[in-house]
Structure 1
Amino acid sequence: MSLNPHTAASLRPLKIMIVDDSAVVRGLISRWLEHEPDMVLAGLAIDGAKGVEKVKEIQPDVLILDIEMPNMGGLEALPKLLAAKPGLKVLMASTLTTRGANVTLRALELGAADYIPKPDSTRIGGADGFRTELLTKIRALCGRTRSWPAPAPAPAPEKPATLERSSALISSQAPRPAPLAAPKPVITPVAPIVRPRSTGPKRIDCLVVGASTGGPPALRAFLLGLGPDWKIPVLIVQHMPATFTAILAEHLDKALPQKVQEAKDGMLIESRNIYIAPGDWHMTIKNDPIVKQIKLDQGPQVNWCRPAVDPLFKTAADVYGNHALGVVLTGMGHDGRDGAKALVDVNGSVMVQDEATSVVWGMPGAVAEAGLAEIIKPIEGLSAACKAFARGERPN
């Protein structure tokens, strides 16, 4: 796999900037970055206006942006930050609330690369998952998923502490030495393999879609590209928390002529309907003798995810056979690869978003490198190919 446009940057530490009015959050993230040889804290700002000025000066690779701040909040600052540094990767730090979800999805539409849920604000222990996810996403957004080891374990505090106490500890610490120079990454290019296309028309009865990092804007563009005449039911797994999937469904429902809803257990799969898997629930398809139904469960995580793409794709293969069409959009990891194989094994078709237009070419890249993708195209090409399938034609 080629390193998309980050080859030169991969030979130096990534420059990370934090824009957040919370001294506690700034302090925690700063400490974490000190332990990462491939990252360096390049700057701090306490509001959006100051952040814009510092971005012009520092030109960071990744910016972690709070939503609620005095003077200029994250949503207002975002377009100015992106204009100050073309190609800047912005991670929105979001609360798991309805308002947080609405604002975060709006930020993604405006150009933010991804979001990360903030930890519980009362205890430092709630930050462990936040740290791991944050560092993983930073590396993925900069094309270093394959080049750097997983984040090292966080230093354990001597005893439980509130975030207020943690802030005092941070401010009293002596300055730490500069991080060591990052080692050169080992990169093994792997060329994607385009699966030979089967011949002749194929009837499509169900479209299943998987997405993760960068997914909401990609989903919106892809579904809008299907057009007002699209009638085939669409089932989507987007890696998101529960509150966010409900808001995502609402946003898409307002934008599309088809009905978009967060799926419920036992819901009938009907034409002109689009179903979003709810956060923390796997979505699969139940093959009722009379009607097809959605089944939700909270079984073990698959590929460290729930919902996961693989269970949906596998049951689509079981229920619809070669009349199922799978699409894998931008995302981190390899969720969807095994499900894509299940579709291919029953002579179904699988398409993936190309590397150039993906925020992260992890999920689609894994499918392509396994030789399971029949078509590799940007968003508009995938929508056009789906419409060709719906007409019983072979896409170009």
Structure 2
Amino acid sequence: MAEPRSAGPQAASAPRTTGPIRVLIVDDSIVARAALSRLLDEDDDIVVAGSAGSAPAALRLLAELRVDVILLDLEMPGVGGLAALPELLAAGQGARVLIVSSACADGAAASIAALRAGAADTLLKPMSAGFSGPFARDLTDRLRRIAWPDGRDGAAPADPRGGGGAPARQIECLGIGASTGGVHALATFFAALPREFAAPILVTQHLPAPFMPYFATQLTDMAGRRTRIAAAGLQLIAGEILLAPGDAHLTLARTGGIVHVRLERKRAASGCLPSVDPMFASMAKVYGPAAVGVVLSGMGRDGVDGAALLVGGGGAVFAQDRASSVVWGMPGAVANAGLARVIAPAGELARRLAEREEGAARWR
């Protein structure tokens, strides 16, 4: 698998927030293309701009069509969807890609690989008789979420300079929260984070529990650091990553001077499980000014309450910028609340963290 580039191709242009969502369907099955077209044609907010039975045919269409979302099957003869994904993202000029494939069962390696390569989201394609009911609702909901991340009217941009704050101190714990678009953002972030960065790293990524073992392996590969799925009682180790399991919040406690993991399953205010808020809140309590949080691409507001506690405790929060985010919900909420010290693409956030540790740059 090719390594992700430092800036995702989806940052080429911002998604439109007005007019119907223009969709290109790419699937080698004529039955699937017809079923998806019929389903989407019933929604007034969605227009099927075109369909293609292969990746090369889709690339030819994208030379003439402007679309907002590409529905892409992974299993196609010749050039498969995963192999074609980078070219489709580039040709789409800012179009998001939603994978709709039978290869996207829970825990499937193909799902993580596609998300890492820049897909906005994945959805399991049903058998031919299942293109209705729950699948139809899920598909149209995801299309709206991807194409209109800020709603149809958009949202006011935050000050790109970020907030102020106290002088920097050495980072003793780094926490990263992400959701939709976050796997690709994490790959970009870790590609830019020097191996010498020694603080323990916590990651809460919104993914179902069955995905986590494979995602932990992918994080090890992406980051060049050992990644463990968090378990109660585990101690933090410098330079290593602890990943929140898909069915519990990753939080910390200090006992006898030793910082260890505590898993929580009570409902978070955001409704997410796992949630970024409890992770950030516990970091603020345990590490205070030595804690730093990073909020990457994701839907909703998970992380903003915890970010407020981090900043209130003297720590700092970085947020991914709108242009490079697949969905600027989570980082946008933090930025618009005035909590983000730095607002930038994921790779730049990593470089700024490294500069802080090296003492080579001042806060701006």
Measured against the shorter chain, the TM-score band is 0.7 to 0.9
2:63 aligned with 1:96, yes or no? no
Q: Could you tell me which of 135, 149, 157 is aligned with 1:145?
A: 149
* Residue number in structure 2 paired with 1:294: 261
* Residue number in structure 2 paired with 1:395: 363
Indicate the percent of aligned positions where both proteins have the same amino acid: 37
How do 1:1-396 residues align onto structure 2 when only pairs under 5 Å count?
5-6=13-14, 9-21=16-28, 25-26=32-33, 29-94=36-101, 95-98=104-107, 100-101=108-109, 103-110=110-117, 112-118=118-124, 121=127, 124=130, 128=134, 130-142=135-147, 144-148=148-152, 186-187=153-154, 189-192=156-159, 196-300=163-267, 302-391=269-358, 394-396=362-364
Query: Is the CA contact 2:189–2:346 (under 8 Å) kept in the aligned structure 1?
Result: yes
Residues 25 and 347 (structure 1), Cα distance of their counterparts in 2 relative to 1, 3 Å cut = farther
Moved more, 308-317 or 9-18: 9-18
Query: Is the CA contact 2:149–2:327 (under 8 Å) kept in the aligned structure 1?
Result: no
Please list the CA deviations of residues 341-390 of structure 1 after superposition, one character each: whole Å capped at 9, or x if unmatched: 11112121111112222222111111010111111122233112212333
Residues 378 and 389 (structure 1), Cα distance of their counterparts in 2 relative to 1, 3 Å cut = same
- Select the structure with the greater relative contact order (CA < 8 A; seq sep ≥ 6): 2
Q: Distance between the aligned counterparts of 1:78 and 1:388, measured in 2?
A: 33
Please list the CA deviations of residues 91-120 of structure 1 after superposition, one character each: whole Å capped at 9, or x if unmatched: 12252255x32x33333444x331223166
Q: Distance between the aligned counterparts of 1:188 and 1:87, measured in 2?
A: 18
| Letter matched to residue 93 of structure 1 | V
Query: Is the CA contact 2:163–2:338 (under 8 Å) kept in the aligned structure 1?
Result: no
**Does the residue aligned with 2:174 lie in a helix, a strand or coil?**
strand
**CA shift for structure 1 position 324:** 0.9
Please list the CA deviations of residues 81-100 of structure 1 after superposition, one character each: whole Å capped at 9, or x if unmatched: 335433332112252255x3
**CA shift for structure 1 position 278:** 2.0
**CA shift for structure 1 position 264:** 2.3
Residues 124 and 296 (structure 1), Cα distance of their counterparts in 2 relative to 1, 3 Å cut = farther
Query: Is the CA contact 2:17–2:154 (under 8 Å) kept in the aligned structure 1?
Result: no
| Letter matched to residue 99 of structure 2 | M
**Does the residue aligned with 2:100 lie in a helix, a strand or coil?**
strand
Select the structure of larger CA radius of gyration: 1
Query: Is the CA contact 1:204–1:325 (under 8 Å) kept in the aligned structure 2?
Result: yes
| Letter matched to residue 363 of structure 2 | P
Moved more, 29-38 or 264-273: 29-38
Q: Distance between the aligned counterparts of 1:258 and 1:205, measured in 2?
A: 17
**CA shift for structure 1 position 317:** 1.3
Q: How many positions carry a matched residue from both structures? A: 350
Q: Distance between the aligned counterparts of 1:259 and 1:309, measured in 2?
A: 21
Please list the CA deviations of residues 128-164 of structure 1 after superposition, one character each: whole Å capped at 9, or x if unmatched: 2x5455334433433x23334xxxxxxxxxxxxxxxx
Moved more, 334-343 or 216-225: 216-225
